[in-house]
Amino acid sequence: MDLFRAHVLVCGGTGCTSSGSGELMKRFDKLLHENLLEKEVKVVKTGCFGLCEAGPVVIVYPEGTFYAHVKPEDVDLIVKEHLVKGRPVKHLIYAGDKADVATSLNQIGFYGKQKRVALRNCGVIDPENIDEYIAFNGYEALGKVLTEMSPADVIDVIKKSGLRGRGGGGFPTGLKWEFAYKQPKGQKYVACNADEGDPGAFMDRSVLEGDPHAVLEAMAIAGYAIGASEGWIYVRAEYPIAVKRLNIAIAQAREYGLLGDNIFGTDFSFDIQIRLGAGAFVCGEETALMASIEGKRGEPRSRPPFPAVKGLFESPTILNNVETYANIAQIILNGWEWFAAMGTEKSRGTKVFALGGKINNTGLVEIPMGTPLRDIIFDIGGGIPGGKKYKAVQTGGPSGGCIPASLIDTPIEYDSLIAIGSMMGSGGMIVMDEDNCMVDIARFFLDFTVDESCGKCVPCRVGTHRMLEILERIVEGKGEEGDIEKLESLAKTIKATALCGLGQTAPNPVLSTLKYFRDEYEAHIFDKKCPAGQCLALLQYKITDKCVGCTRCAKNCPVGCITGKVKEMHDIDQSRCIKCGLCQSNCRFSAIIRE
């Protein structure tokens, strides 16, 4: 076994890859070769470290130096100063960390209040090397269940842990497995939902890119628990890195005898296939996903029968998402008590969120259930950029709702989110500041849902379209008295009558913004104003008495709608103004306001 005095970990997740981390890898390899350090220093391509805002990220161990925003030209300095002379390059170290070096991620403020369970190996191991996964206790849980536990024992442990599904409504995982286990012996299936279609969500993608074997091992454990020999992973084709690493991981697991026949010398056989999705949001719904795997149109069906009784190919099937599976092996190895000790009474363990929008530290965070929203936004997320005022956060994507600033101390768990009109969903968390228009936010999410509706049921196909038409009129300044009541009526009808969970939750963004930001709707409809100043149809640029008549605004107006003489106050013709804002940005005297 080769021993190295230093390891250089380079983020190979989608975000850092798009920012050029591949070039960093090549540069490190070239310079290590030129400096005869190839046998002393190992460069490792990992998955996402979580702190996407700082990418591309490079961490040098054993010191644990966390380098952020690394460019190819910075590699020369890191090799010359740090790897050759042993002196960390201070000006490249992550600015949010007060210390020069950190021996673990938890010593960096962003990670301080996190608890990494599902993300435990992301950014730590090479996801394309099964030996590294095994070195971190990989496949030990599978070996344990096959040699020491019965299927009933496995299900009992998962039930006692309190693990709930991390992909939507939070159904108890162990109970779902038990339903399938109790079905008559015969062909059964284990399925993984890696479709992840919510805007702003990339939790599952990052786990697949950084720790694919965790999902394969968990699916094999699930197969043993319910009596299944086949597994399916439904992953969207827009995740090329995740798909590539999954294929590599499956091939490696087969080569090592960890997938296939007679695993660990037992009579248990299990294998996994991948099915690529075409990016249809509705295929995140379990019955639509299974229809798509079967080669049919991705549409939901009525339930019962539930998939645990009649799922893939008419056979009993369990379906969990990537993050749910990422917890399984750790529960088996550490015991259900360990997992149940984290979180709250009804929401055990941790939850991964994709933190985005108006937030300083964008990226992936994993926190114990019950962590107050305030801690996530300000302690982990670093607060709002530019000194702006925090306004709201959208959780659960198009199926969730907006949580206002007044509820910032809400503990993040399944029941508390439902109680205030939102939901956990898969884990998207989009932060908004004072410049966001909540009516337009609701319109954005509903527009997404309308586009993604499969069209099978009338409430979703027609009802959401009617709601969107009303919202579009409102943001265009054409709202009418009674529109709010129409939105509420339509929303309640759709929730009560839509065929699947996606249609039933589609009105949530509208209902939550109506509940907490009703005054903004009223301002749009009755005052014909957008309080946040975002809806173009309701905006006006006005020249105040601060104008000195320098003519700079008139010269820069692309449509010539500003008139006035030199050294005299100018005027804007509102009927011709296209509201581009160039007049305001070019005014040197702050004489032009937007309202």
Residue 328 belongs to a domain with what CATH number?
A: 3.40.50.11540
Q: Is 197 part of a structural domain of the chain? A: yes
Q: How confident is the model at residue 199 (pLDDT cuts 50, 70, 90)?
A: confident
DSSP secondary structure, 535-570, as one string: -GGG--EEE-TT-----HHHHH-TT--EE--TTS--
Q: Which tens digit of pLDDT belongs to each residue from 533-562?
A: 899 899 889 999 999 999 999 999 999 999
- pLDDT of 270 reads 98
Q: What is the 3-state secondary structure (H, E, C) of 262-309?
A: CHHHCCCCEEEEEEEECCCHHHHCHHHHHHHHCCCCCCCCCCCCCCCC
| CATH code of the domain covering residue 64 | 3.40.30.10
Q: Which of 339, 372, 404 is the last residue of a domain?
A: 339
Q: What is the pLDDT of residues 420-435, one digit of tens each?
A: 988 888 788 999 999 9
| Alpha-carbon gap, residue 310 to 287, rounded angstroms | 10
The structure tokens 């088996």 sit at: 332
Burial pattern 138-157, b for ≥16 Cβ within 10 A else e, equals bbebbbbbbeebebeebbbb
Residue percentage of the chain with pLDDT more than 70: 98
In a domain, 1, yes or no: no
Does one domain contain both 427 and 445?
A: no
Statement to judge: residues 207 and 317 lie in one domain: yes
pLDDT reported for residue 501 = 86
Phi-psi region of 291 (alpha: psi -120 to 50; beta: other; left: phi over 0): alpha
- What is the spatial distance between Cα 170 and Cα 164, in angstroms, rounded to a whole number? 5
- The count of C-alpha atoms lying within 13 angstroms of the C-alpha of 156, restricted to the half-sphere facing its C-beta, is 6
In a domain, 118, yes or no: no
Over residues 344-366, the mean pLDDT reads 95
Say what the pLDDT of residue 98 is.
55
Residue 131: closest CA among 279, 258, 285: 258
pLDDT band at 219 (very low <50, low <70, confident <90, very high): very high
Domain boundary among 433, 452, 472: 433
Q: Which CATH number covers residue 545? A: 3.30.70.20
Task: Write down the pLDDT at residue 76.
Answer: 96
Range of the domain at 15: 6-111
Of 219, 214, 15, 258, nearest to 116 by C-alpha is 214
Both tokens of 427, joined, read: 């884990």
Does residue 125 belong to any structural domain of this protein? Answer: no
Confidence band for 103, pLDDT divided at 50, 70 and 90: low
Please indicate, yes or no, whether residues 450 and 408 belong to a single structural domain of this protein. no
Q: Looking at the 3D structure of the chain, how many domains does it have? A: 5
Above 60 in pLDDT, residue 1? no
Indicate if 259 and 383 belong to the same structural domain.
Answer: no
**CATH value at residue 357:** 3.10.20.600
For residue 12, pLDDT over 70 is answered with: yes
The confidence band for 397, taking pLDDT boundaries of 50, 70 and 90, is confident
Q: Are residues 13 and 100 in the same domain?
A: yes
Q: Which of 433, 460, 484 is the last residue of a domain?
A: 433
Region 171-184: mean pLDDT is: 97
**120 is a domain residue:** no
Q: Is the pLDDT of residue 594 over 60?
A: yes
pLDDT at 374 over 90: yes
Per-residue pLDDT band at 21 (split at 50, 70, 90): very high
Asked if residue 584 belongs to a domain, the reply is yes
Are 152 and 284 members of one domain?
A: yes
Q: Are residues 234 and 141 in the same domain?
A: yes
State whether 446 and 517 are in the same domain.
yes
In this model, does residue 172 exceed pLDDT 90?
Answer: yes
pTM of the model: 0.92
pLDDT digits (tens, 9 = 90+) for 464-501: 999 999 999 999 999 999 999 999 999 999 999 999 98
Residue 467 lies in a domain: yes
User: Which residue has 């490792």 as its token pair?
Assistant: 44
Same domain, 425 and 445: no
Can you tell me the mean pLDDT for 164-189? 94
| Same domain (yes/no): 271, 172 | yes
- Residues 316 and 276 occupy one common structural domain: yes
Q: Tell me: the pLDDT tens digits for 276-290? A: 998 788 888 899 999
pLDDT for position 40: 95
Does any domain span residue 117?
no
On whether both 496 and 563 belong to a single domain, the answer is no
Give 123-169 pLDDT, tens digit per residue: 999 999 999 999 999 999 999 999 999 999 999 999 999 999 998 77
Residue 591, pLDDT > 60, answer yes
